[in-house]
Amino acid sequence: MSAPRLEIDLDKITHNARVLVEDLGERGIAVTGVTKAALGAVEVAKAMLRAGVSGLGDSRIENIEAMRHQRIAAPIMLIRSPMLSQAERVVKSADISFNTELSVVRRLSAAAQDADRVHGIVLMVELGDLREGILPVDLIGAAREVLRLPNLELTGIGVNLACHSGMAPDATNMAALSTLADEVEAALDVSLEIVSGGNSANLNWALGKGKIGRINHLRLGEAILLGCEPLHRTPVDGLHTDAITLVAEVIESKTKPSLPWGTLAETAFGGDVTSTDTGDMSRAILALGEQDMDPAGLVPPDGLAILGASGDHLLIDCGKRRLQVGTEVRFAVNYSALIRAMTSPFVDKAMARGRTARPSLNLA
């Protein structure tokens, strides 16, 4: 197999999704499986669908189109506000989109009329994280406009927290969303199918003991793929945290001093160099760099430490070990390392079902 590569265990992804679908199902919450971190890979989409997710969500229309081309027939929602310039494509490939701007909603309505389709609108509400969302005072007016426009359906309302400002989903903001759902329904005499409480950061709240209220939907990516909730990056009970790992190959292995020498200037990526002299050390270079992933998001195997990275090199302190050239080293990844590795054309994506566990480090 070629390196570097992401190894993606599709059965572990299905397991994670199934546990979440079942646990949240008991609380009356449906799960949309979010594929954006996997660039809409059809194998990952299918792994989520096998687990019983109610549909798929992605932030990029390109990924949604790719899934449609590969015959994914499940409901798909575009979970980022559509670009005005992409309204036709959105209506064609996505069943539902998340919206905060009436100019976009109007364009979607026109495109849906042209395509002779009905497009679902989820209006996103701002509840404090200050990323996307209509201010609560403007919500009923916006919902009224959606109802007035042809070929649109007001599918529901939603919120996104813990992304820009790190505002955690809690009893207060979730109750606020429930109240808004009641108010929209009462004011406009409609019933909202979806009240979407958020993303993986909502899991502590949703699986806790608090009142769920009207929330009946979550969009989950990170928790399914990495087995973690993003608020404190702690593993979720019962989920695999190693469904996706990143493997890279040693291209240099030498004993070198711990301190650099010569005249000091800026480093390639602005990091600090070590300043403590610990004498000679066993160092390795892996063929993996900033162009492939986010080095801050890698967790090395026990006994190894990351010294730094440049565009194409990852420097490793091998501790008591010596890694031979050609050795493969396996890392756990966080969300940031995952999306960059997924997006890098230099990183191979090895997806398989029923993969057996391998040692984390193949020492020669």
Catalytic residue list: 36
Q: Does 337 bind ligand PLP (CB under 6 A)?
A: no
Which amino acid does the sequence have at 318? C
- Closest Cα partner for 335 from 298, 282, 285, 287? 298
Part in contact with ligand PLP (CB under 6 A); list of ranges 142-150, 215-223, 281-289, 315-323 = 215-223
Give the residue closest to ligand PLP by C-beta: 221
Q: Which is nearer to ligand PLP, 51 or 248 (CB)?
A: 51
347 binds ligand PLP (CB under 6 A): no
DSSP labels, 80-120: SPPPGGGHHHHHHH-SEEEE--HHHHHHHHHHHHHHT--EE
Q: How far is the CB of 296 from ligand PLP (least distance, A)?
A: 18
Q: Is 100 in the site for ligand PLP (CB under 6 A)?
A: no
Helical ranges in 152-250 per DSSP H: 171-188, 203-206, 222-226
The answer to whether 337 and 244 have CB atoms below 8 angstroms apart is no
Contact assessment for residue 199 and residue 225, using Cβ atoms and an 8 Å cutoff: no
What is the footprint of ligand PLP within residues 160-179 (CB under 6 A)?
Answer: 160
Taking the complex as a whole, the smallest distance from the CB of residue 272 to ligand PLP amounts, in Å, to: 30
Tokens representing 132 are: 């996307």
Select the residue interacting with ligand PLP from 92, 219, 283, 340 (CB under 6 A): 219
CA distance 55 to 52: 8
- Residue range at the interface with ligand PLP (CB under 6 A); choices 6-14, 199-207, 267-275, 309-317: 199-207
Q: 80 vs 349, which CB is nearer to ligand PLP?
A: 80
Partner residues linked to 9 by β-bridges: 352
* Helix (H) / strand (E) containing 6: strand 5-9
Instruction: Verify binding: residue 340, ligand PLP, rule CB under 6 A.
Output: no
Binding mask 28-67 for ligand PLP (x = CB under 6 A): ------x-x----------------------x--------
Q: Do residues 296 and 268 lie in contact, with contact meaning Cβ atoms separated by under 8 Å?
A: no
Is the Cβ of residue 194 or residue 250 nearer to ligand PLP in the bound state? 194
Is 217 a binder of ligand PLP (CB under 6 A)?
Answer: no
Helix (H, G, I), strand (E, B) or coil at 223: helix
List of residues contacting ligand PLP (CB under 6 A): 34, 36, 59, 79-80, 160, 199-201, 219-223, 230
